[in-house]
Amino acid sequence: MKRAIIILNGRMSYDNEFYKKYIKKEDDIFCADGGSNYAYELKLKPKLILGDLDSIREDVLNYYKKEKIKFKKYPPEKDKTDTELIIEEVKKLEKYNKIIILGGLGGRVDHTLVNIQLLERYKIIKFVNSKEEIEFLENEEKILKDKKNKIISLIPISKKVEVKKLEGFKYDGENLIFERGNSLGISNVVEKNEAKIKIKKGKILLIINQKKEM
């Protein structure tokens, strides 16, 4: 199984060096509309460009057409965002163990909030930019490797989340209760090369800051 990278038209933090290191040669690239502008700047060739195509630059559109990249056009007025449409398109392929979404955070607030909610519906996805990565956890154990000194936060989605164990962090604990609207899970620090989060019951967002605590 391999990774799919979806590039959206949101804010990419303008850190091309981060994305050049993060995106691997073996990753498959997909773009939602204006996300293809970023792909072009990063010298990537998407397998598919999807959307109403109102945000893609003309020079980028012409270049990818010349390269015979596949396009799938939708009308501007539709019941789903380009983000959700391209997630569904990639999921149909059933060949990826993780779908990484770039450019999905930091733009319009309404789009950012909807994108974060999509994490619960499509558990295979993760949002990443040069500042942080966000994924959804539910009733599971998550092992963090090679994240030493990074700051993590746990944000409850359920009204109450039972965390059986936090291990390998500055603030470890067992049988913890995280409640929605409470700031208990903010700004913990990974102190081991391998750290564990064991969710006994409930839904929670895991946010990992890319910058390390000094």
Mean pLDDT for the stretch of residues 39-61: 93
Mean pLDDT for the stretch of residues 127-154: 93
pLDDT band at 213 (very low <50, low <70, confident <90, very high): low
Hey, do 2-130 and 137-212 end up sharing a CATH topology, with the first three levels equal? yes
What is residue 12's predicted lDDT score, i.e. its pLDDT?
67
pLDDT band at 67 (very low <50, low <70, confident <90, very high): very high
What is residue 200's predicted lDDT score, i.e. its pLDDT?
96
Q: Which CATH number fits domain 2-130: 3.30.300.30, 3.30.428.10, 3.40.50.10240, 3.30.830.10?
A: 3.40.50.10240
The DSSP element (H or E) to which 127 belongs, if any, is strand 125-128
Q: Answer yes or no: are the C-beta atoms of 209 and 105 closer than 8 Å.
A: no
Give φ, ψ of 106 to 5 degrees: 85, 5
What is residue 106's predicted lDDT score, i.e. its pLDDT?
73
Residue 25 has pLDDT above 70, yes or no: yes
Helix (H, G, I), strand (E, B) or coil at 40: helix
Mean pLDDT for the stretch of residues 110-120: 88
Q: Alpha-carbon dihedral of residues 203, 7, 146, 139, nearest 10 degrees?
A: 10
Q: Kindly report, residue by residue over 159-188, the tens digit of the pLDDT.
A: 999 999 999 999 999 999 999 988 999 999
Q: Answer yes or no: are the C-beta atoms of 55 and 31 closer than 8 Å.
A: no
Show me where the domains of the chain are located: 2-130, 137-212
Catalogue the long-range contacts made by 56-60 (C-beta closer than 8 Å, 24 or more residues apart): 60/36
The gap between the terminal CA atoms of the chain, to the nearest Å, is 35
Looking at domain 137-212, its CATH architecture is: 3-Layer(aba) Sandwich (3.40)
